[in-house]
């Protein structure tokens, strides 16, 4: 076939496909059944003609045009995905707990690192209080020396709504940093866990030294257990991401890292609703210093327990259609 015949014979189908693609935009439901069938047929002709033209006339403008049309059809006729709400529900009900269980060693490792750093902070503070004080802002230290703890005044300056919002957005940022740090071979995640653990340990020692540990305990008892564990979960998600860089199983880096990315982002995203819950508790119940610490402890343990039951109870195996 010569070039003139090729263009003359193919052009009606190419024009038809372009017109139908324009009509559909990015939404195939704008096309009727007949039009959809015509689009699929025209796209197959375009792809076939593109393959021929690319071999015989790679530099022709018609070939470039066919490439554009073939790619457009490729994107438009992609296999459909389930509706977003259905996917979100399936993920929260089954997907997240399943991923959490599959990657439990990473979360356990992250938690161990955080607790180890906390213990180190306590020891460092015990040996040299001045080093521990470096992790606490000067303004807060001044208050501690005067017998006041910063947590007493957090609720005074803002109402519960704005406080909760700021707290959970900030906590989500911290968790995202702990997760994203996994992409630099896990160093960022490990750094975030070490720093936060060390800071927490130093804070415990310094407040104990000033006789205000019970006040700090009264502040963190309700939201602290779950919130700190969620940060460890985000760190574990970071380690899962980092694993994609080193555990190849004989496949290419891009493939293992992409798989690890998908798994780890599920881990990180699954913590978001729980961070919001923690923020609400931290903005409302935690600042109430007239509420008994024992009651706050019960709330804190109940929150952590609920999360652990939700994530660790075995789920049915994933089925593929």
Q: Which of residues 75-134 bind another protein (CB under 8 A)?
A: 75, 77-79, 81, 84
Question: What are the distances in angstroms from CA 152 to CA 118, 166, 200, 218?
Answer: 23, 17, 18, 10
Among 258, 292, 295, 308, binds another protein (CB under 8 A): 258
> What 3-state DSSP class applies to 280?
helix
Q: How far apart, in whole angstroms, are the C-alpha atoms of residue 34 and residue 18?
A: 16
Q: How far is the CB of 309 from another protein (least distance, A)?
A: 27
Length of the chain: 321
Task: Number of residues interacting with another protein: please give it, by CB under 8 A.
Answer: 77
DSSP 35: H
Tell me which residues in 146-185 interact with another protein (CB under 8 A): 158-166, 169, 176-177, 179-181, 183-184
Cα of 311 vs its chain's centroid, Å? 16
Stretch of residues binding another protein (CB under 8 A), selected from 66-74, 105-113, 131-139, 295-303: 66-74
Among 100, 257, 275, 307, binds another protein (CB under 8 A): 257
Q: Return the H-helix or E-strand segment holding 253.
A: helix 253-270
Q: How far is the CB of 163 from another protein (least distance, A)?
A: 8
Q: How far apart, in whole angstroms, are the C-alpha atoms of residue 163 and residue 287?
A: 10
Buried b (16+ CB within 10 A) or exposed e, 5-40: ebeeebeebbebbbebbeebeeebeebeeebbebbe
Q: How far is the CB of 301 from another protein (least distance, A)?
A: 29
Q: Which is nearer to another protein, 142 or 153 (CB)?
A: 153
Residue 39, token pair as written in the block: 């689009």
Among 235, 244, 270, 300, binds another protein (CB under 8 A): 244
Q: How far is the CB of 38 from another protein (least distance, A)?
A: 15
Q: What is the Cα Rg of the chain in Å?
A: 28
Q: Which is nearer to another protein, 188 or 224 (CB)?
A: 188
Stretch of residues binding another protein (CB under 8 A), selected from 6-14, 101-109, 131-139, 285-293: 6-14
Tell me which residues in 7-46 interact with another protein (CB under 8 A): 7-8, 11, 14-15, 18, 26, 43-44
Among 73, 270, 287, 300, binds another protein (CB under 8 A): 73
Q: Which is nearer to another protein, 178 or 216 (CB)?
A: 178
Among 260, 280, 303, 304, binds another protein (CB under 8 A): 260
Give me the DSSP letters along 92-125: IIIIHHHHHHHTHHHHHHHHHHHHHHHHHHHHHH
Tell me which residues in 183-202 interact with another protein (CB under 8 A): 183-184, 188
Burial class (CB in 10 A: 0-12, 13-18, 19+), 274: buried
Among 28, 36, 38, 60, binds another protein (CB under 8 A): 60
Among 23, 68, 128, 306, binds another protein (CB under 8 A): 68
Q: Which is nearer to another protein, 42 or 202 (CB)?
A: 42
Q: Which is nearer to another protein, 153 or 306 (CB)?
A: 153
CB 52 within 8 A of CB 72: no
Taking residues 267 to 296 in sequence order and writing x for each that binds another protein by CB under 8 A, - otherwise, the string is -xx---------------------------
Q: How far apart, in whole angstroms, are the C-alpha atoms of residue 205 and residue 37?
A: 72
Q: Return the H-helix or E-strand segment holding 5.
A: helix 3-24
Q: How far is the CB of 161 from another protein (least distance, A)?
A: 5
């Amino acid at each position: 076939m010569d070039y003139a015949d090729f263009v003359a014979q193919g052009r009606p189908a190419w024009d038809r496909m372009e017109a139908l693609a324009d009509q559909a935009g990015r939404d195939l439901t704008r096309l009727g059944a007949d039009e959809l069938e015509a689009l699929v047929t025209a796209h197959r002709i375009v792809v076939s003609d593109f393959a021929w033209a690319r071999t015989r006339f790679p530099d022709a403008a018609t070939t470039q045009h066919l490439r554009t049309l073939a790619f457009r059809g490729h994107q438009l006729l992609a296999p459909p995905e389930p509706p977003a709400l259905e996917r979100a529900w399936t993920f929260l009900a089954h997907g997240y707990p399943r991923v959490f269980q599959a990657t439990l060693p990473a979360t356990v490792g992250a938690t161990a690192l955080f607790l180890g750093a906390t213990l180190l902070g306590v020891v460092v503070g015990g040996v040299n209080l001045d080093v521990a004080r470096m992790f606490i802002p000067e303004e807060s230290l001044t208050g501690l020396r005067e017998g006041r703890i910063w947590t007493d005044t957090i609720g005074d300056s803002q109402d519960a709504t704005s406080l909760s919002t700021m707290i959970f957005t900030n906590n989500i940022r911290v968790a995202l940093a702990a997760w994203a740090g996994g992409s630099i071979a896990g160093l960022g995640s490990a750094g975030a866990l070490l720093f936060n653990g060390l800071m927490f340990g130093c804070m415990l020692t310094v407040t104990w030294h000033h006789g205000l540990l019970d006040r700090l305990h009264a502040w963190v008892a309700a939201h602290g257990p779950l919130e700190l564990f969620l940060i460890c979960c985000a760190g574990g998600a970071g380690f899962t991401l980092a694993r994609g860089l080193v555990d190849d199983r004989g496949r290419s880096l891009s493939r293992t890292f992409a798989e690890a990315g998908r798994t780890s982002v599920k881990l990180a995203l699954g913590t978001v609703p729980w961070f919001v819950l923690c923020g609400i508790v931290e903005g409302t119940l935690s600042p109430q210093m007239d509420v008994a610490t024992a009651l706050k402890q019960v709330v804190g343990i109940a929150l952590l327990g609920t999360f652990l039951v939700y994530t660790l109870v075995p789920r049915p195996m994933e089925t593929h259609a």
